[in-house]
Chain A
Amino acid sequence: MMMSKIVRTMTHLLVPLTFIYSVYLIMHGHLTPGGGFQGGGVFASAVALLIVAFGSQNIHKSLKEHHLSILESSGALIFIGLAFGGLAAVFFYNFLTGSSIFGRIPPTGSNPGDIWTGGVIPLMNFAVGLKVIAGLSAILLTMALATSLKEVEE
Protein backbone atom coordinates (compact mmCIF):
# COMPACT_ATOMS: atom_id res chain seq x y z
CA MET A 1 0.00 0.00 0.00
CA MET A 2 1.63 3.26 -1.14
CA MET A 3 0.78 6.63 0.32
CA SER A 4 0.05 9.82 -1.60
CA LYS A 5 2.47 11.55 -3.98
CA ILE A 6 3.14 14.33 -1.44
CA VAL A 7 4.33 11.84 1.17
CA ARG A 8 6.46 9.97 -1.36
CA THR A 9 8.13 13.17 -2.62
CA MET A 10 8.94 14.31 0.91
CA THR A 11 10.32 10.83 1.64
CA HIS A 12 12.60 11.11 -1.40
CA LEU A 13 13.87 14.41 0.01
CA LEU A 14 14.24 13.42 3.66
CA VAL A 15 15.58 9.87 3.52
CA PRO A 16 19.04 10.70 2.03
CA LEU A 17 19.52 13.47 4.60
CA THR A 18 18.61 11.10 7.42
CA PHE A 19 20.99 8.43 6.11
CA ILE A 20 23.85 10.95 5.91
CA TYR A 21 23.08 12.20 9.43
CA SER A 22 23.08 8.66 10.82
CA VAL A 23 26.43 7.86 9.17
CA TYR A 24 27.79 11.14 10.59
CA LEU A 25 26.61 10.14 14.07
CA ILE A 26 28.35 6.76 13.76
CA MET A 27 31.59 8.16 12.25
CA HIS A 28 32.00 10.92 14.83
CA GLY A 29 30.84 8.79 17.76
CA HIS A 30 34.16 9.10 19.58
CA LEU A 31 34.21 12.92 19.29
CA THR A 32 30.66 14.24 19.49
CA PRO A 33 27.42 12.99 21.06
CA GLY A 34 26.25 9.92 19.21
CA GLY A 35 27.74 6.55 18.45
CA GLY A 36 26.75 3.19 17.14
CA PHE A 37 23.38 2.83 18.83
CA GLN A 38 22.18 6.39 18.21
CA GLY A 39 23.25 6.39 14.55
CA GLY A 40 21.64 3.01 14.01
CA GLY A 41 18.43 4.23 15.61
CA VAL A 42 18.31 7.28 13.33
CA PHE A 43 19.00 5.05 10.29
CA ALA A 44 16.20 2.68 11.28
CA SER A 45 13.80 5.62 11.68
CA ALA A 46 14.54 6.48 8.02
CA VAL A 47 13.77 2.86 7.14
CA ALA A 48 10.49 3.23 9.06
CA LEU A 49 9.69 6.31 6.96
CA LEU A 50 10.40 4.32 3.78
CA ILE A 51 8.19 1.45 4.93
CA VAL A 52 5.32 3.80 5.83
CA ALA A 53 5.55 5.77 2.56
CA PHE A 54 6.08 2.98 0.03
CA GLY A 55 4.46 -0.01 1.72
CA SER A 56 6.19 -3.01 3.23
CA GLN A 57 5.66 -5.23 0.16
CA ASN A 58 7.59 -2.84 -2.10
CA ILE A 59 10.41 -2.41 0.42
CA HIS A 60 10.59 -6.18 0.91
CA LYS A 61 11.51 -6.61 -2.76
CA SER A 62 14.91 -4.98 -2.15
CA LEU A 63 15.41 -5.47 1.62
CA LYS A 64 15.27 -9.11 2.69
CA GLU A 65 15.39 -10.38 6.25
CA HIS A 66 18.16 -12.90 5.65
CA HIS A 67 20.42 -10.17 4.22
CA LEU A 68 19.77 -8.12 7.36
CA SER A 69 20.52 -11.20 9.46
CA ILE A 70 23.90 -11.62 7.73
CA LEU A 71 24.64 -7.91 8.32
CA GLU A 72 23.74 -8.16 12.02
CA SER A 73 25.89 -11.24 12.57
CA SER A 74 28.85 -9.65 10.74
CA GLY A 75 28.56 -6.59 13.00
CA ALA A 76 28.78 -8.77 16.10
CA LEU A 77 31.69 -10.75 14.61
CA ILE A 78 33.63 -7.56 13.74
CA PHE A 79 33.16 -6.32 17.32
CA ILE A 80 34.34 -9.60 18.87
CA GLY A 81 37.16 -9.87 16.31
CA LEU A 82 38.45 -6.40 17.21
CA ALA A 83 38.24 -7.32 20.89
CA PHE A 84 40.25 -10.51 20.27
CA GLY A 85 42.67 -8.56 18.04
CA GLY A 86 44.26 -6.99 21.10
CA LEU A 87 44.67 -10.33 22.79
CA ALA A 88 48.48 -10.08 22.43
CA ALA A 89 48.36 -7.70 25.41
CA VAL A 90 44.90 -8.10 27.00
CA PHE A 91 41.27 -8.59 25.88
CA PHE A 92 39.87 -5.31 24.39
CA TYR A 93 43.42 -3.83 24.21
CA ASN A 94 43.50 -0.76 21.94
CA PHE A 95 46.11 -2.15 19.55
CA LEU A 96 45.74 0.65 16.94
CA THR A 97 47.22 3.35 19.21
CA GLY A 98 50.13 5.07 17.46
CA SER A 99 49.45 3.50 14.05
CA SER A 100 48.51 5.51 10.97
CA ILE A 101 44.83 4.49 10.96
CA PHE A 102 42.78 6.03 13.80
CA GLY A 103 45.96 6.03 15.89
CA ARG A 104 46.88 9.69 16.45
CA ILE A 105 47.21 10.95 20.00
CA PRO A 106 44.48 13.59 20.56
CA PRO A 107 45.71 17.11 21.39
CA THR A 108 45.17 18.34 24.92
CA GLY A 109 43.03 21.34 25.77
CA SER A 110 40.01 22.60 23.87
CA ASN A 111 40.30 21.75 20.17
CA PRO A 112 37.95 21.10 17.25
CA GLY A 113 38.61 17.36 17.42
CA ASP A 114 40.66 15.04 15.24
CA ILE A 115 38.76 12.18 13.61
CA TRP A 116 41.88 9.96 13.29
CA THR A 117 42.00 9.32 17.04
CA GLY A 118 40.53 6.68 19.29
CA GLY A 119 42.19 3.51 18.00
CA VAL A 120 39.67 0.68 17.69
CA ILE A 121 36.80 2.71 19.21
CA PRO A 122 35.55 4.18 15.85
CA LEU A 123 35.77 0.74 14.24
CA MET A 124 33.77 -0.74 17.14
CA ASN A 125 31.25 2.09 16.69
CA PHE A 126 30.93 1.01 13.05
CA ALA A 127 30.35 -2.59 14.12
CA VAL A 128 27.72 -1.62 16.69
CA GLY A 129 26.08 0.69 14.15
CA LEU A 130 25.92 -2.12 11.58
CA LYS A 131 24.34 -4.43 14.14
CA VAL A 132 21.78 -1.88 15.35
CA ILE A 133 20.86 -0.83 11.78
CA ALA A 134 20.27 -4.44 10.75
CA GLY A 135 18.44 -5.42 13.95
CA LEU A 136 16.03 -2.48 14.14
CA SER A 137 15.36 -2.56 10.37
CA ALA A 138 14.58 -6.27 10.60
CA ILE A 139 12.20 -5.64 13.52
CA LEU A 140 10.38 -2.87 11.62
CA LEU A 141 10.23 -4.88 8.38
CA THR A 142 8.92 -7.98 10.15
CA MET A 143 6.25 -6.00 12.03
CA ALA A 144 5.13 -4.23 8.83
CA LEU A 145 5.02 -7.44 6.81
CA ALA A 146 3.10 -9.33 9.52
CA THR A 147 0.44 -6.64 9.86
CA SER A 148 0.08 -6.14 6.09
CA LEU A 149 -0.34 -9.88 5.51
CA LYS A 150 -3.21 -9.86 7.99
CA GLU A 151 -4.87 -7.12 5.94
CA VAL A 152 -4.67 -9.31 2.85
CA GLU A 153 -6.28 -12.25 4.63
CA GLU A 154 -9.35 -10.31 5.75
Chain B
Amino acid sequence: MIESGILHIIIPVLLVVCALLVAIFKDLIAAAITLAVFSLLLALEFYLLQAPDVAIAEAGVGAAITVAIYILAIRATKRT
Protein backbone atom coordinates (compact mmCIF):
# COMPACT_ATOMS: atom_id res chain seq x y z
CA MET B 1 0.00 0.00 0.00
CA ILE B 2 2.96 2.33 0.61
CA GLU B 3 4.06 2.00 -3.04
CA SER B 4 0.51 2.76 -4.16
CA GLY B 5 0.55 5.86 -1.92
CA ILE B 6 3.76 7.08 -3.54
CA LEU B 7 2.29 6.45 -7.00
CA HIS B 8 -0.75 8.53 -6.07
CA ILE B 9 1.65 11.46 -5.59
CA ILE B 10 3.99 10.81 -8.53
CA ILE B 11 1.37 10.28 -11.24
CA PRO B 12 -0.65 13.50 -10.64
CA VAL B 13 2.61 15.49 -10.62
CA LEU B 14 3.60 13.87 -13.94
CA LEU B 15 0.11 14.62 -15.27
CA VAL B 16 0.54 18.32 -14.47
CA VAL B 17 4.03 18.30 -16.03
CA CYS B 18 2.68 16.67 -19.21
CA ALA B 19 -0.22 19.14 -19.41
CA LEU B 20 2.19 22.07 -19.07
CA LEU B 21 4.49 20.58 -21.73
CA VAL B 22 1.55 20.25 -24.14
CA ALA B 23 0.95 23.99 -23.76
CA ILE B 24 4.66 24.91 -23.94
CA PHE B 25 5.79 22.85 -26.97
CA LYS B 26 5.84 24.80 -30.25
CA ASP B 27 6.12 21.62 -32.37
CA LEU B 28 2.59 20.29 -32.90
CA ILE B 29 3.66 16.64 -33.32
CA ALA B 30 5.60 16.77 -30.03
CA ALA B 31 2.54 18.28 -28.32
CA ALA B 32 0.32 15.50 -29.69
CA ILE B 33 2.73 12.78 -28.49
CA THR B 34 2.85 14.42 -25.06
CA LEU B 35 -0.95 14.35 -25.05
CA ALA B 36 -0.76 10.58 -25.66
CA VAL B 37 1.61 10.25 -22.68
CA PHE B 38 -0.84 12.34 -20.64
CA SER B 39 -3.70 10.00 -21.57
CA LEU B 40 -1.66 6.89 -20.70
CA LEU B 41 -0.74 8.33 -17.28
CA LEU B 42 -4.40 9.23 -16.74
CA ALA B 43 -5.37 5.64 -17.61
CA LEU B 44 -2.80 4.37 -15.08
CA GLU B 45 -4.24 6.70 -12.45
CA PHE B 46 -7.78 5.45 -13.20
CA TYR B 47 -6.50 1.88 -12.80
CA LEU B 48 -4.94 2.74 -9.44
CA LEU B 49 -8.25 4.31 -8.37
CA GLN B 50 -9.96 0.91 -8.95
CA ALA B 51 -11.73 1.91 -12.18
CA PRO B 52 -10.33 -0.49 -14.82
CA ASP B 53 -13.38 0.05 -17.03
CA VAL B 54 -12.66 3.76 -17.39
CA ALA B 55 -8.94 3.00 -17.74
CA ILE B 56 -9.53 0.78 -20.80
CA ALA B 57 -11.76 3.44 -22.39
CA GLU B 58 -9.19 6.17 -21.67
CA ALA B 59 -6.28 4.11 -23.04
CA GLY B 60 -8.17 3.07 -26.17
CA VAL B 61 -9.94 6.27 -27.06
CA GLY B 62 -7.81 8.93 -25.37
CA ALA B 63 -4.34 7.62 -26.10
CA ALA B 64 -4.87 5.97 -29.48
CA ILE B 65 -7.76 7.44 -31.43
CA THR B 66 -7.76 11.13 -30.50
CA VAL B 67 -3.99 11.33 -30.96
CA ALA B 68 -4.28 9.54 -34.31
CA ILE B 69 -6.93 12.07 -35.39
CA TYR B 70 -4.75 14.97 -34.16
CA ILE B 71 -1.73 13.67 -36.10
CA LEU B 72 -3.83 13.08 -39.24
CA ALA B 73 -5.07 16.67 -38.93
CA ILE B 74 -1.55 18.03 -38.34
CA ARG B 75 -0.42 16.19 -41.51
CA ALA B 76 -2.69 18.49 -43.55
CA THR B 77 -1.05 21.66 -42.15
CA LYS B 78 2.12 23.34 -43.36
CA ARG B 79 5.14 24.43 -41.34
CA THR B 80 5.93 28.10 -41.96
Binding site for A on B (CB under 8 A): 52-53, 55-57, 60-61, 64-65, 68-69, 72-73, 75-76
5 cross-chain pairs, A with B, having the tightest CB-CB distances, nearest first: A41-B60, A45-B64, A147-B76, A33-B52, A48-B68
Contact B65 A150, beta carbon cutoff 8 Å? no
Residues of chain B within 8 A (CB-CB) of A2 are: none
Main secondary structure of the interface of A (DSSP, over half): helix
**Contact check: which of B53, B73, B76 meets A34 at CB < 8 Å?**
B53
Interface residues on A, range: 20 to 34
Main secondary structure of the interface of B (DSSP, over half): helix
Residues of chain B within 8 A (CB-CB) of A136 are: 61, 65
Binding site for B on A (CB under 8 A): 25, 33-35, 37-38, 41-42, 44-45, 48, 51-52, 136, 139-140, 143-144, 146-148, 150-151
Q: List 28 A-B contacts (CB under 8 A).
A: A25-B56, A33-B53, A34-B53, A34-B56, A35-B53, A38-B53, A38-B56, A38-B57, A38-B60, A41-B61, A41-B64, A41-B65, A42-B60, A44-B60, A44-B64, A48-B64, A48-B68, A51-B68, A52-B68, A136-B61, A140-B65, A140-B68, A143-B69, A144-B72, A147-B72, A148-B75, A150-B76, A151-B76
